[in-house]
Structure 1
Amino acid sequence: MKLVIGSDHGAVELKEEIKDLLKAEFPDVEVEDMGTFGKESVDYPDIAEKVCTPVAKGEADRGIVLCGTGIGISIAANKVKGIRAALCHETYTAKMSRQHNNANILAMGGRTTGPEIAKEIVRTWMTTEFEGGRHERRVNKIMALEQK
């Protein structure tokens, strides 16, 4: 699996914690960091585009985006055709985002989510599979909205 990750300046520290977790616990996952790499102010829509484009094109399987709250970057991510980004604050929403919505992007906030719960969210999101069935029909309807 290939995963792309990126954050704005408001979540760069959390991004590094998540990268460490992915390296330690998911060694078969190739992780590509799309930035940012410092505390200098950057615009989260630019990071969302950098992460979501390879996922939408099928060049990566999933992505993780982070900003201060996770709100702005999740909104931006969902503007990219083919993306289903889910803003998660705990493991239940992470699990449901995968099981029911087949989310291909996980969004979190560096100023709203502590590193330990963020790691639990990532573990859950990475190990939960899409259930399909009735959820497949609903995901297809979500994706059809892009064509209207």
Structure 2
Amino acid sequence: MTQSWQLWAVLAAVFAALTAIFAKVGVAGIHSDLATLVRTVVILAIVAAMVTVSGQLGGLARISGRSYVFLVLSGMATGASWLCYFRALAIGDAARVAPIDKLSVVLVAVFGVVFLGEHLSAPNWAGVALIGAGAILVAYKG
């Protein structure tokens, strides 16, 4: 069961939903960038503890230069995403911010095809379109 990508994806979605709710309450009365810093420090501490306890820390020396470059770029994109997300949460409703943030699903599908050479079937593309339309409809304030 722990090798199921579906399980981990569902858990990621649950924790992402909790992130939006907890963050919306957490940014009240403080600057969103400061809230992002606090969140990041907590994440760093938890992941560092997990890597240390599991004995993976020695693996840092075996990471290739190419992997480091792309992991650094991914970290920069994550940081930018979090700063933007917390700023949006500070200004808008969590129920509207989160769906727009999830348009990343649509962008991942497009980027995966364009940059990674992945292939999606017609039903897959229909699902991507529905996700996009759904996110826009949920975010619509009407």
Q: Could you state the TM-score of these two structures normalised by the residue count of structure 2?
A: 0.29
**Larger relative CO (CA 8 A, sep 6+): 1 or 2?**
2
Indicate the structure with greater helix content.
2
**Higher percent of residues as strand:** 1
TM-score, normalisation: structure 1: 0.28
